[in-house]
Amino acid sequence: MADQQIMDVEKEEATQLEDTERTRDRRVYVARADIYETDEAIVVLADVPGADENSVDITIEKNVLTIYAEVEPEQPGEHSLIYQEFDVGDYERSFVLSNQVDRSKIEATVKDGVLRLYLPKMPEAQARKISVRAG
Amino acid sequence: MFYRRYRNPAMFREMQRLQREMGRLFSAVEGRGQGPTSYPAINIWAGEDSAVMVAELPGVQPDDMDVRVVGDTLTLSGSRAAPEIGEGASYHRRERSFGRFSRTLQLPFKVEAGRVDAEFQKGILKIHLPRAESDKPRKISVKSSS
């Protein structure tokens, strides 16, 4: 295919703080994210396949926004795994928010394994268009 | 001191070979299986009479996926659309890949193409592949000739 491009396949495991361990014996991966900024908001799109609105936790502590998506590993029927390219695990990601973001109006939705975070900017941080008149 | 990398290419080749070998050794210890080769990464579960192929395709629309089965060959292709960010928006980060993908896999047995069933939920595609009747092992009872 001519327009086929290289797509990332390998999952990256999340790093832990030194000398700490996770309570659950489960792999945790870095949720791949796209972040873009518009005039009104900053939007985060994160891949969390296997998670839905009930299994995603979003917390804000001080100025750190953390996404944690729990994914339940499942075994289809009585089958056994004969070929494996990926592991199932939870997803985690943290971002530092700037002061521009209006923390009380953050919206989050999950659809088809993609988490969408809408971080609206404070009115005073929104870009204002200044029209230039001829003098 | 200026370090010249290419003064002794044979030595570097040897070092690279060692590095690759170490990498393989460690990945085997971690038990990640074969490691993905191309998008999307795939797992295959199999039993006596059926198999299930699982792939993580977050954000892909079911209409943009194409699953074909011929005999014991499964082809999964499709495309992942780039997010529509609208005019005037700018990216801070772009880590999610998009574009066309296509994978062909050989299954452990012939599949009853008419009964293949694919479901897409929470960004995970599951394809149920029942084994073809003609391919199932037959038990042959052994009679004594006396």
Q: Give the tens place of pLDDT for each residue, A35-71.
A: 999 988 999 999 999 999 999 999 998 889 999 999 9
- Cβ-Cβ contacts under 8 Å between A and B: the total is 156
Q: What percent of chain B clears pLDDT 90, i.e. is strictly above it? A: 43
**pLDDT value of residue A24:** 75
- Give the pLDDT band (50/70/90) at residue B35: low
Q: Do the Cβ atoms of A34 and B93 come within 8 Å?
A: yes
Say if strands A41-47 and A33-37 run parallel, antiparallel, or are unpaired.
antiparallel
* Chain B residues within 8 A of A10 when measuring between CB atoms: 35-36, 41
Structure tokens at A129: 């268009």
Cβ pair B112, B69 in contact under 8 A:
no
Per CB distance under 8 Å, which residues of A are interface residues toward B? Answer: 1, 3-11, 32-39, 42-43, 45, 47-52, 75-87, 112-114
Q: Give the tens place of pLDDT for each residue, A2-34.
A: 344 567 777 888 877 666 777 777 889 999 999
**pLDDT value of residue B1:** 47
How much is the pTM? 0.76
* Chain A residues within 8 A of B85 when measuring between CB atoms: 36, 38, 43
Closest-CA distance, B112 to chain A, in angstroms, reads 18
Selecting from B32, B36, B56 the residue whose C-beta is nearest the C-beta of A49 gives B56
**pLDDT value of residue A5:** 52
Sorted by sequence, the CB contacts under 8 Å of residue A20 that are 6+ apart come out as none
Selecting from A8, A39, A114 the residue whose C-beta is nearest the C-beta of B123 gives A114
Three-state DSSP state, A2: coil
Sign of CA dihedral A43, A48, A53, A59: negative
Q: What are phi and psi of A101, to 5 degrees?
A: -80, 130
Q: Do the Cβ atoms of A113 and B46 come within 8 Å?
A: no
Q: Give the tens place of pLDDT for each residue, B94-117.
A: 999 889 999 999 998 999 989 999
Closest-CA distance, A89 to chain B, in angstroms, reads 12
Task: Report CA-CA distances (Å) from B80 to A3, A7, A106, B94, B98.
Answer: 12, 10, 27, 14, 5
Chain B residue with Cα closest to A50: B122
Task: Give CA–CA dist B108/A132, Å, rounded.
Answer: 69
Q: Do the Cβ atoms of B122 and A10 come within 8 Å?
A: no
Task: Give CA–CA dist B1/A120, Å, rounded.
Answer: 53
Q: Do the Cβ atoms of A79 and B97 come within 8 Å?
A: no
Cβ pair A75, B46 in contact under 8 A:
no
Q: Give the tens place of pLDDT for each residue, B63-87.
A: 999 999 998 999 999 999 988 888 8
Mean model confidence pLDDT for chain B? 83
Query: Does the pLDDT value for residue B31 go beyond 80?
Result: no
Q: Give the tens place of pLDDT for each residue, A90-102.
A: 999 999 988 888 9
Interface ipTM above 0.90: no
Q: Do the Cβ atoms of A33 and B93 come within 8 Å?
A: yes
**pLDDT value of residue B137:** 81
